[in-house]
């Protein structure tokens, strides 16, 4: 599966307190507390929680992050009237997810996960150097958030990160050819720039990270946290000052001659459709552990609404029920955490898109 960058993704930097209706459900984790508003669809709530579980584990295992300061996630039933394209934001105290926004309703599941992981990256950055740090370049901070969210989705088999990098580089060559990344170093310049700064930032960080392990970014933020300057840290890890890299990146963009990858746009649909469709499971685990998060992928007719149920063969009531929908090429996936209520033994993973289901068996261990 491929995926274009979220053109409407925005980082909200205001620190104003947001007054929300009292949540009707609250889930807890060691680093996160979830406040879920009344009116949030249960499938959307599950989707947000699963996305953040995925992000947290990724940062702990791949980046070496330790989250010793709990933060809150607010899942809202509405959107921001003045920002219909906003799916989520980090305001320095909490991640706010807008499940009632037009952008959320129109976004593919992979886009929603990408947004959640993007905002979780800002939580990590804030935990290391403070919220809205003014020393590290804004383009680098946002480019890291883009790079990591797509690296994660690539790892679980949901997108092809290389396609996204090529796409954003092509977008930058077309629309941002004469824009040095140092021109959008300051947060005010980044936010006020009339152009696709996210594509350029992602392409720039991807070039910096080419061939480097993900924990290079952990070293970067650890050095900043220990008092090293952003320019000295950047030079140490990437072999050039930000200014010198900016010149090199501008030349790289100007010389980009690879064709525009229009196939990425084939993923997009006007919205999910309730239609009978066969489904072919592409990947599903054959053994799982209680509390483990699994990824199930499949192929169905484009835009089809599809369900996944985890069942105990001895019961007629599903242990877990999830809904998702296929993109424009038919790719569909689910993130599911095996609940503590599951008893060790045999379970079935059943997928269906309004037609004959496909069932896989899995062994549950402790």
In sequence order, what DSSP letters do the residues of 145-180 get, joined into one string?
HHHHHHHHHHHTTS--HHHHHHHHHHHHHHHSTT--
Which of 164, 163, 201, 152 shows the shortest CA–CA distance to 179?
Answer: 201
Instruction: Name which CATH class applies to 280-365.
Output: mainly beta
Please give the model's pTM, rounded to 2 decimal places: 0.91
User: Distance between CA atoms of 145 and 124, rounded to whole angstroms?
Assistant: 10
Q: What is the pLDDT of residue 264?
A: 79
**Which of 56-60, 168-172, 338-342 is least confident?**
338-342
Q: What is the pLDDT of residue 6?
A: 40
SS3 assignment, position 324:
strand
| Same fold for the pair 23-265 and 280-365 | no
Instruction: Name which CATH class applies to 23-265.
Output: mainly alpha
Question: What confidence tens digit (pLDDT) does each residue in 209-256 have?
Answer: 999 999 999 999 999 999 999 999 999 999 999 999 999 999 999 999
Instruction: Report, as an integer, the average pLDDT of 59-86.
Output: 92
Domain ranges of the chain: 23-265, 280-365
């Amino acid at each position: 599966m491929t995926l274009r960058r979220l053109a409407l993704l925005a980082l909200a930097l205001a620190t104003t307190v947001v007054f929300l209706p009292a949540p009707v459900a609250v889930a807890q984790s060691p680093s996160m507390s979830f406040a879920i508003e009344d009116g949030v669809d249960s499938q959307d709530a599950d989707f947000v929680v699963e996305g953040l579980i995925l992000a947290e584990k990724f940062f702990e295992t791949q980046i070496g992050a330790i989250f010793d300061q709990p933060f809150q996630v607010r899942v809202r039933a509405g959107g921001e009237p003045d920002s219909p394209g906003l799916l989520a934001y980090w305001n320095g105290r909490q991640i706010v997810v807008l499940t009632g926004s037009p952008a959320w309703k129109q976004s593919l599941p992979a886009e929603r996960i990408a947004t959640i992981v993007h905002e979780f990256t800002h939580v990590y950055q804030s935990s290391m150097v403070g919220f809205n740090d003014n020393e590290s370049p804004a383009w680098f901070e946002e480019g890291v958030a883009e790079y990591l969210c797509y690296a994660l989705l690539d790892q679980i088999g949901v997108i092809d990160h290389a396609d996204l990098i090529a796409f954003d580089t092509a977008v930058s060559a077309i629309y941002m050819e004469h824009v040095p990344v140092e021109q959008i170093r300051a947060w005010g310049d980044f936010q006020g720039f009339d152009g696709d700064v996210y594509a350029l930032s992602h392409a720039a960080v991807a070039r910096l990270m080419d061939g480097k392990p993900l924990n290079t970014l952990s070293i970067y933020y650890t050095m900043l946290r220990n008092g090293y300057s952003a320019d000295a840290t950047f030079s140490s890890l990437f072999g050039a000052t930000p200014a010198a890299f900016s010149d090199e990146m501008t030349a790289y963009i100007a010389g980009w001659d690879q064709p525009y990858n229009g196939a990425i746009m084939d993923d997009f649909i006007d919205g999910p459709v309730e239609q009978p469709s066969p489904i072919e499971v592409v990947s599903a685990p054959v053994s799982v552990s209680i509390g483990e998060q699994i990824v199930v992928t499949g192929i169905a007719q484009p835009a089809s609404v599809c369900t996944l149920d985890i069942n105990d063969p001895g019961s007629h009531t599903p242990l877990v029920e999830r809904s998702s929908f296929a993109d424009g090429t038919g790719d569909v996936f689910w993130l599911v955490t095996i609940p503590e209520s599951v008893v060790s033994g045999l379970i079935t993973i059943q997928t269906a898109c309004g037609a004959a289901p496909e069932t896989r068996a899995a062994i549950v261990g402790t």
